[in-house]
Structure 1
C-alpha cells in the first residue's frame, strides 16, 4: 500500500508500506516522543487497501481531506477514501 502525506516537512511525500493495515501513526514507533503523522483516511478498493492518507501533527482533518481531494488520491489509486476515527 502507498502512504501519502499531507502537511509538515514531508508534505506531498509518498512511500510504500509493507503491511496489510496501515499504522495509526507514522512513523509507527519513534521512542523519542516526537510528533508523528496521524492516519486520517484509508483508501479501499476491490483489491483491499491501496493507500493511507496521513496528516501532519496539528493539521485539521478537514484540511487533510481537502488537500487529498485536490490531489485526487482516490481516483489515482482507484479506491474510495474512508475516514479513520
Structure 2
C-alpha cells in the first residue's frame, strides 16, 4: 500500500507501507507527544488497500479531502475511496 501525505513538512510525499491496513496515525508511535499525521482516506482496489491519505494536524478533514480529490488519488490507483471517521 502507498501512504500519501497532505500538508505539513512532508506535503505531497509518498512512501510504501507494509501490512493489510494502515495505522490511524503516522508515524504510528512517536512517543514524543508531538502531533502526527492522521489517516483521512483509504482507497481500495479489489478489496485490497491501494493507498492511505494522511493529513497534517493543522488541516481540517475537508481540506485534506479537497487536496486528495485534486491530486486524483482514486483515479491514479484505480481505487474506491472511503473517508475514515474519527
TM exceeding 0.5: yes
Q: How many residues align?
A: 85
Shift of 1:47: 5.0
- The Cα offsets for residues 38-80 of structure 1, whole Å up to 9 and x where unpaired, read as 0001001115100000000121011101000100000001101
Partner of 2:9: 9
- Compute the RMSD of aligned alpha carbons: 0.8
Moved over 3 A (4+): none
Where does residue 26 of structure 2 map in the other structure? 26
**Structure 1 unaligned spans of 5+:** none
Q: Return the TM-score normalized by structure 1.
A: 0.97
Aligned partners of 2:42 and 2:82: how far apart in 1? 5
Segments of structure 2 that go 5 or more residues without pairing to the other structure are none
What SS class does the counterpart of residue 9 from structure 1 fall into?
helix
Q: Give TM-score, length-normalised by structure 2.
A: 0.96
